[in-house]
Structure 1
Amino acid sequence: MHAQIVLFDGFDPLDVIAPYEVLYAGGTASAGAVSVELVSAEGPREVVGGTGGLALRATAALDPGRAGLILVPGASGRVGEPGEVPDHDAGAGEWQQDEFIPVLLGRALATELPALLKAALDNPEVTVGTVCGGSLVLAMAGLLEGRHATTHHLGLDMLDATGVHAVSARVVDDGDLVTGAGVTSGLDLGLYLLEREVGPRIAHAVEELFAHERRGTVWRNKGPEPAGF
């Protein structure tokens, strides 16, 4: 499995680093059955994250035609108070410290990223994963209507408003779409994908290496509906 982790201006570094390290360790434990790289819609470049201006380097352009996994992080910035709106010039120019998360996501939507993600979702050989607000990037682009997905708990209502079946779970498996909730869920998402795609023994070995037990039940749209309680 080859994994492409997407960088865009204002990305949340932990959304990227947590699954990157899990998948990279999975590649080591599986004698190279998993590979991972950082990509961007624009190609190789330094990409500035939303936490203190921390930058990571994308080494290639996102390729939706390549079989494997494409993983989209969320953004790191200000959530804002209820009713607070960005200034009229918010989003203009380059990344600035403490920008609103919706502004950062909106800026990502103004790039080639949505078209590339649509092509990835249309490719039967690609699984698309997201961490935190990464699912909102796809949802705001109109790519997840009718699908089951999760995001950070503060964004579940927004996710639901786009026509997504928002699920309050740490990891949601909807077939070729696997989504994670808050930022640290990137560890659990990565471990689940290792288990699903490579096998539980590899995932368990990485769990032991990282001294982290995967949290929560992975939600899938299977089995009987639970009774109300």
Structure 2
Amino acid sequence: MSEVENEQTPDRPVSRSSRPFVIVASALSVLLLGAAFGMFLTQRAMDSSAQATPAAGSVEVGFAQDMSVHHLQAVTMANWARDHSADPEIRQLAFDIQSTQLEQVGRMKGWLMLWGQPEQSNSPYMSWMTGSSGHEMAGMPGMAAASSTAAAGSGDAAMPGMATNAELAKLRSLSGKDLDVYFLQLMLRHHQGGTPMAEYAHEHTSLSALKALTKSILDSQGAEMDLMKQMLTARGAQPLP
């Protein structure tokens, strides 16, 4: 064998043009891993307790459908901040949110597949929360924006805390510190808006797999909300009203 054949080819860095494919592949892997993990845990929980399969409109199905939609917007915002911010703290926070919530979405979609339910419901968002109507809904963070846009027929901010299309466009138009601050403000409100959903599901489900997930969401997002408030203060900014 020649010397040329014996030489090992040095590792080549991933080219800039291939980075989007690497990111997409990684995200898909996380999503699929979450789905497989969710189906495994849910099947074990149902087998061990002989629970009936959750039906359409139940807390379990409704939460999985609606929180997946809620989470995916957070993933979208986090991906943008991670790729466009120059602040290491923002990039790290965005990465943590993106990876955690994408895995959770995969888990919830795995449940829906196992239960024979569609990924999205035709019912109004949060209709599975029997107490989340009228004055209770109006008091949730971000609900005022959701109500006003829904009245206008735009479909924006469908659930508490979610950003409108105009807010997402503004986020994409910013750079530097302005981008960092606005991302923190939108994501903080997003977490605050999703908290009542996780709390309600945690209190009203008997499915151990869902209780475990909602506890994880409340714990991780509670810590992230504290961190985002500190990061806003450090940058001379305040949460959105």
Same topology, TM > 0.5: no
TM-score (normalised: structure 1): 0.27
Give the structure with the higher percent strand.
Answer: 1
**Rg larger in structure:** 2
TM-score (norm 2): 0.26
